[in-house]
């Protein structure tokens, strides 16, 4: 083989190996590599960036060559008007697993190069469709997915290394704040939490799922008062769906609770009458406690009484029936049940709890 060709093949092989096994080396310029992530509902937000330090440059960061204002020609790359890279080294990136709103402006799911066109009092956030550039040297405004103006804030204490932090979280929003030296640039990310969760359920429920997954959707819908008519179909699938459905206390009671939430009380009662005989002592007891929490005391008493009649020597049924009587103000009937339960207490924790309830009854107080 020609020596020149042999040399080229060896060189190419070495180049390929270098591409497969990149050099392990710390970030340039002492800038720490960092990442932060958080979920808002089902939406995962991830930020990847490098953390430059102030390094004694207090008062010499903003509006200087370190973090320039506006759009400038940095003398490198293809951009003649580059914003600040919002960090150091390669692109700062931010990704969203689902669509979001940035300060009320819609932004599709995706991974974005993140830049900031800085100003003294106001800055422009730039989300670029290109996320693999070095810094902002190759920034092109034609690749912008979104621009949003936000106000800068002053910090009382200097932050040595640039950082991104999630703040002021709610169920459907979070504020992301870039902080460095004595400046913070915050912006609000919001999501259509309930809508996105329902869409995820619909997608997931097109695959084979166990009955308890359907009931997870039922409980979520009930707790959020959202999509309950659709969730009623999931409850039926949990009970009777071929192969994966199960008709048991768990699935039937889930449907009954959903119907009650929808104010279909008679329908709920019928389903619950079917569920109760299938429940374990603890399951029935827990259902009775739930009724008490809803101030449905008469119904709770009937549940506790049924559980006791079937299992009269169980601690749970003795305590349950005592709770039922107590909820109706019949403390004298509740007291002997608790004293019997005390002698059957399986551990110190239960014994302490029962003793506390006995003391309340003796003081003429409801134990619920």
- Asked if 122 contacts 149 with a C-beta cutoff of 8 angstroms, the reply is yes
What does the alpha-carbon distance between residue 34 and residue 26 come to, in Å, rounded to a whole number? 12
Helix (H, G, I), strand (E, B) or coil at 188: strand
DSSP letter (8 states) at residue 287: H
Alpha carbon 48 to chain centroid, angstroms? 20
Query: For position 252, what pLDDT does the model report?
Result: 97
- Residue for token digits 């504020």? 175
- Domain residue spans of the chain: 27-191, 194-362
Q: What is the pLDDT of residue 84?
A: 97
Per-residue pLDDT of the chain (368 residues; tens, 9 = 90+): 455 555 444 544 555 555 566 777 666 666 788 999 999 999 999 999 999 999 999 999 999 999 999 999 999 999 999 999 999 999 999 999 999 999 999 999 999 999 999 999 999 999 999 999 988 999 999 999 999 999 999 999 999 999 999 999 999 999 999 999 999 999 999 999 999 999 999 999 999 999 999 999 999 999 999 999 999 999 999 999 988 999 999 999 999 999 999 999 999 999 999 999 999 999 999 999 989 998 999 999 999 999 999 999 899 899 999 999 999 999 999 999 999 999 888 888 989 999 999 999 999 999 99
pLDDT score recorded for residue 286: 92
What CATH superfamily classification does 194-362 receive?
A: Tetratricopeptide repeat domain (1.25.40.10)
Beta strands 122-128; 144-151: pairing state: antiparallel
Beta bridge partners of 36: 47
DSSP type of residue 31: P
> DSSP of 238-265, one letter per residue?
HHH-TTT---SHHHHHHHHHHHHHTT-H
How far is residue 47's CA from residue 234's CA, in Å, rounded to a whole number?
Answer: 36
Distance set, CA 53 to CA 35, 121, 135, 136, 279 (Å): 16, 22, 16, 19, 62
Give pLDDT, residue 216. 97
Q: What is the pLDDT of residue 13?
A: 53
């Amino acid at each position: 083989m020609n020596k020149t060709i042999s040399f080229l093949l060896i060189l190419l092989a070495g180049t390929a190996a270098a591409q497969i096994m990149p050099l392990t080396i710390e970030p340039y310029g002492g800038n720490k590599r960092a990442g932060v992530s958080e979920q808002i509902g089902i939406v995962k937000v991830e930020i990847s960036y490098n953390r430059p330090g102030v390094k004694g440059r207090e008062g010499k960061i903003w509006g200087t060559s370190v973090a320039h204002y506006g759009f400038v020609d940095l003398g490198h790359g293809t951009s003649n008007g580059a914003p600040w890279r919002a960090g150091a080294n390669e692109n700062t990136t931010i990704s969203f697993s689902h669509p979001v709103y940035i300060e009320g402006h819609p932004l599709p799911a995706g991974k974005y190069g993140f830049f900031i066109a800085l100003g003294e009092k106001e800055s422009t956030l730039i989300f670029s469709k290109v996320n693999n550039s070095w810094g902002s040297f190759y920034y092109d405004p034609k690749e912008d997915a979104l621009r949003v103006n936000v106000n800068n804030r002053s910090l009382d204490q200097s932050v040595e290394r640039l950082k991104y932090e999630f703040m002021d979280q709610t169920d459907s929003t979070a504020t992301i704040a870039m902080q460095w030296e004595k400046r913070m640039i915050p912006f609000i990310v919001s999501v259509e939490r309930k809508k996105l969760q329902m869409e995820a359920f619909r997608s997931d429920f097109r695959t084979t799922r166990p009955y308890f997954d359907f009931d997870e959707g039922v409980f979520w819908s009930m707790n959020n008062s959202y999509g309950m008519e659709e969730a009623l179909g999931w409850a039926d699938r949990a009970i009777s769906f071929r192969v994966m459905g199960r008709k048991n206390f768990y699935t039937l009671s889930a449907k009954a609770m959903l119907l009650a939430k929808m104010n279909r009380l008679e329908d709920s009662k019928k389903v619950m009458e079917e569920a109760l005989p299938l429940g374990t002592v603890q399951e029935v007891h827990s259902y009775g406690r739930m009724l008490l929490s809803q101030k449905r005391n008469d119904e709770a008493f009937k549940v506790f009484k049924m559980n006791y009649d079937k299992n009269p020597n169980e601690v749970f049924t003795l305590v349950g029936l005592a709770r039922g009587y107590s909820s109706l103000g019949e403390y004298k009937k509740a007291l002997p049940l608790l004293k019997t339960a005390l002698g059957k207490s399986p551990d110190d924790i239960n014994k302490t709890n029962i003793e506390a309830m006995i003391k309340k009854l003796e003081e003429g107080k409801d134990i619920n």
